[in-house]
Amino acid sequence: MSGETASENFNAGMRFLKEENMDRALRAFEKAWKEDKENAEYMSYYGLCKAVRGGEIGLGLELCTRAIKKEFFKAEFYQNLGRVYMYAGNKKGAIKVFLKGLKFAPKDEGINKLLIELGFRNKPVIPVLDRSNLLNKALGILFRRKVPGLFKKGGKH
């Protein structure tokens, strides 16, 4: 045994993930998670890597979902779960998870970038007009900057 703590393994995993070294990230996150299986952060990142690198999508979905149930307010957990859905080819599921994550962190850059990458866009302000219509563009910019959340489904106004 190398004597590294779960925290050290997790930090190493994060470093490997940033370097896009998925093999080493998976091993480091697995060690951290095995040391502390109740830690939501270890669970989420291990689940992400297990799905993306290990090919075990079911386990990845389960671990990432469990992490969210433990700490529902962490946007990074929604980002990890959404990435697993993306890897599985479930664009609709990924978008749904990302939008849920934005409820807790509306300005999260990672989630917003992934939504843009998926091609997600809000509906036009005036649905009967084309998205590229000048009026729709102007109103969309105005409302979304000045009155964010006004046109969201099920939102409280």
CATH at 34: 1.25.40.10
Per the model's pLDDT, the better-predicted residue between 9 and 150 turns out to be 9
Same domain, 21 and 72: yes
3-state secondary structure of 39: coil
At 42 the pLDDT is 98
Q: How far apart are CA 135 and CA 144, in angstroms?
A: 14
Instruction: Enumerate residues 6+ apart whose C-beta is below 8 A from 152.
Output: none
Instruction: Tell me: pLDDT of 14 over 60.
Output: yes
Q: DSSP state, 124? A: P
Strands annotated E in 47-121: none
Tell whether 1 is covered by a domain.
Answer: no
- Dihedral, 115, 120, 121, 127 alpha carbons, nearest 10: -160
- pLDDT of 126: 81
Domain total in the chain: 2
- Tell me the residue range of the domain where 147 lies: 122-157
Q: Output 108 or 62, whichever has higher pLDDT.
A: 62
Tell me: pLDDT of 133 over 80: yes
Q: Averaged over 53-72, what is the pLDDT?
A: 96
Closest by CA to 65, choosing from 95, 32, 43, is: 43
| Shared-domain flag, residues 115 and 133 | no
Predicted confidence at residue 149, as pLDDT, reads 52
Domain-embedded: residue 32 = yes
Q: Are residues 64 and 131 in the same domain?
A: no
- Give which of 50, 112, 33 is closest to 79, Cα–Cα: 112
- Summarize pLDDT for 35-47 with one digit per residue, the tens: 999 999 999 999 9
pLDDT in tens, 110-128: 998 999 888 876 677 788 8
